[in-house]
Copies of this chain bind each other. A is one copy, B any other.
Amino acid sequence: MKRNQLDLEYIASRLEGLEETVIFKLIDRAQFKQNDQAYQIGASGFSNEPHQCLFDLRMLHQEHMDALFGRFFVPEERPFNNNLPEAKRIVHLQATGLSIANLDIVNMTAAIKATYLALLKSLCQPGSDEQYGSSVEHDVYAIQAIARRIHYGALYVAESKYQRNPVVYQTHIEAQDTASLLALLTRTDVENRIIERVRAKVAATQERVNHLVRNIVNTDAVVDYYHNTIIPLTKQGEVAYLLNRRTTT
């Protein structure tokens, strides 16, 4: 953990570890059906919450607790909710090497939430098993793992790449040239390698389980989510970071 946090090889290995967590959590969620009622406003079962759904209530309570424990001091842990309480815990963090005034400039949670809820349609079996509480509990773990993967990549990959090539990046930043930044950040060969690794892992993880006991998820659903959502949102976050990067003077 004392390695240089901006070493690109170290960042790639952390991204790979976070990727395994994302895959495990998605498979866990898929053990329950879609359970639409958990996402319907007014159907939470909380008598005093007519304007919320169970999923949103669970996210809010989880993040309320997480905020007290100091989770959001960590750069890659960005909250889905506003108006969370102050931390009650003193947390000692190592220097991150990041250079941004406010981490929530790179907060992709609105897009993550929308795409995650859409993913449930292809990830889970349709219908209801009435396990609403367990479903949203696993939703929270999955969506937090996805958000951690995206924000970690957005922040640390962007800063690392900037430091390798500051003159070129600075030119595009000053011109606010989003398209050139995106092109500079894109490595199609690396992205393809990630996609194939995700495909292999989803398949391997499910090969060894007892199919009579566990639901099997559609490998393409997870792979497509990685390809169409996780990687693009990470790059969008990288661009947001760079456009708001603070140059020390």
Contacts and interface: CB of A to CB of B under 8 A. Distances in A.
Contacts of A249: none
Interface in A172-208: 201, 204-205, 208
B45 A70 contact: yes
Given A17-B31, A45-B70, A61-B69, 17 more contacts: A13-B212, A17-B213, A17-B214, A20-B209, A24-B24, A45-B91, A47-B88, A47-B90, A54-B89, A57-B69, A61-B65, A62-B65, A89-B133, A92-B130, A94-B130, A201-B208, A204-B208
A116 B68 CA distance: 25
Contacts of A16: 210, 213
Contact of A1 (B129, B210, B214): B129
Interface of A: 1, 13-14, 16-17, 20-21, 24, 28, 31, 44-49, 54, 57-58, 61-62, 65, 68-71, 88-92, 94, 129-131, 133, 141, 201, 204-205, 208-210, 212-214
21 contacts: A1-B130, A13-B210, A13-B212, A13-B213, A14-B213, A17-B214, A20-B209, A20-B213, A21-B28, A24-B28, A45-B70, A45-B89, A46-B88, A57-B69, A71-B133, A89-B133, A91-B133, A92-B130, A94-B130, A204-B208, A205-B208
Nearest to A49: B88
**Chain B CB within 10 Å, residue with most, of A46, A141, A212:** A46
Q: How many copies of this protein are present in the complex?
A: 2
A153 to B, nearest CB: 15
Contacts of A131: 1
Contacts of A129: 1
A69 B1 contact: no
A128 to B, nearest CB: 10
A21 B129 CA distance: 19
Contacts of A24: 24, 28
The residue in A14, A49, A69 that gathers the most chain B C-beta atoms within 10 A of its C-beta is: A69
